Structure 1
């Protein structure tokens, strides 16, 4: 699997684009759901099942449109945030074994946890939130920072390789 590199993003641009895309997709879903339901009920008679089928078809059409458009350049910020969330979710499934490995000065685990904390901070910033209220995460972040300093490792990491997680069995 390819490495994922952290990139600077403009939080205001991300939130603006994210809201616009969400509104457009929700609007498209609503219009297509109603349109398909209207077509089906006018062709086959009114029933709850046909209305539900129309909504399902609207959802499928919206999903297909979204799948086609997700690789467009104007979706870069949103796609980056989705990928970041995906990788952070992957890492969170391995937090217990990673934490145990950090206690034994495992450099890969230190890199992954450092990436995790940097990614969580960036995601919070993109969403306009703060992570300062999570004392447990802050304590772990400080522990990782001190371990990195003791091992003369750089304070930050630039990227994450999902293949690094294969070393750690999920507990």
Structure 2
């Protein structure tokens, strides 16, 4: 898998684009769902099955449109946030095995947990939230920072390689 590089993103631009894209997709889904349901009920008679099929077709058409548009340049901020969420979700599945490795001064585990905390902060910032209310995560972040300092590692990491997680897979 490719290395994920942490990048600065404008939180205001992300929230604005995210809201606009969500509203457009919801509107498109509603219109297409009703349109397909209208066409199907006109052609095959009115029934719950035809209406449901129209909604499903509307969902599929909206999903297809979204899949085509997701790589457009104006989707950069939103796509970055989705990728960040995906990688943070991957890491959270390995936290149980990463934490003991950090206690053993495993530098790869330290890098992964540092990425996790940096990513969580960035995601909170993008969503207009604060991370100051989670004492357990703040304590872990401080522990990781102190370990990195003691080992002479830089305070932050710039990227994350998902392949590094494989060595922390539970038996």
Q: TM-score w.r.t. structure 1 length?
A: 0.99
In structure 2, the residue matched to 1:89 is: 89
Alignment of 1:1-171 (within 5 A): 1-170=1-170
For residues 29-78 of structure 1, give each alpha carbon's deviation from its aligned partner in whole angstroms, at most 9, with x where no partner exists. 00000000000001111101100000000000000000000000000000
Structure 1 residue runs of 4 or more that deviate by more than 6 Å after TM superposition: none
CA contact (8 A) 1:4 1:159 kept: yes
Q: Determine the C-alpha separation between the residues in 1 that align with 2:163 and 2:43.
A: 53
Unpaired segments of 5 or more residues in structure 2?
none
Q: How many residues align?
A: 171
Secondary structure in 2 aligned to 1:30?
Answer: helix
Secondary structure in 2 aligned to 1:128?
Answer: coil
Q: Determine the C-alpha separation between the residues in 2 that align with 1:47 and 1:106.
A: 61
Measured on the aligned residues, the alpha-carbon RMSD in Å equals 0.7
Q: Determine the C-alpha separation between the residues in 1 that align with 2:13 and 2:170.
A: 37
Secondary structure in 1 aligned to 2:9?
Answer: coil
Unpaired segments of 5 or more residues in structure 1?
none
Q: TM-score w.r.t. structure 2 length?
A: 0.99
Q: Determine the C-alpha separation between the residues in 2 that align with 1:120 and 1:170.
A: 23
Q: Determine the C-alpha separation between the residues in 2 that align with 1:96 and 1:144.
A: 15
Give the superposition deviation at 1:162.
0.4
CA contact (8 A) 1:41 1:47 kept: yes
Give the superposition deviation at 1:170.
2.9
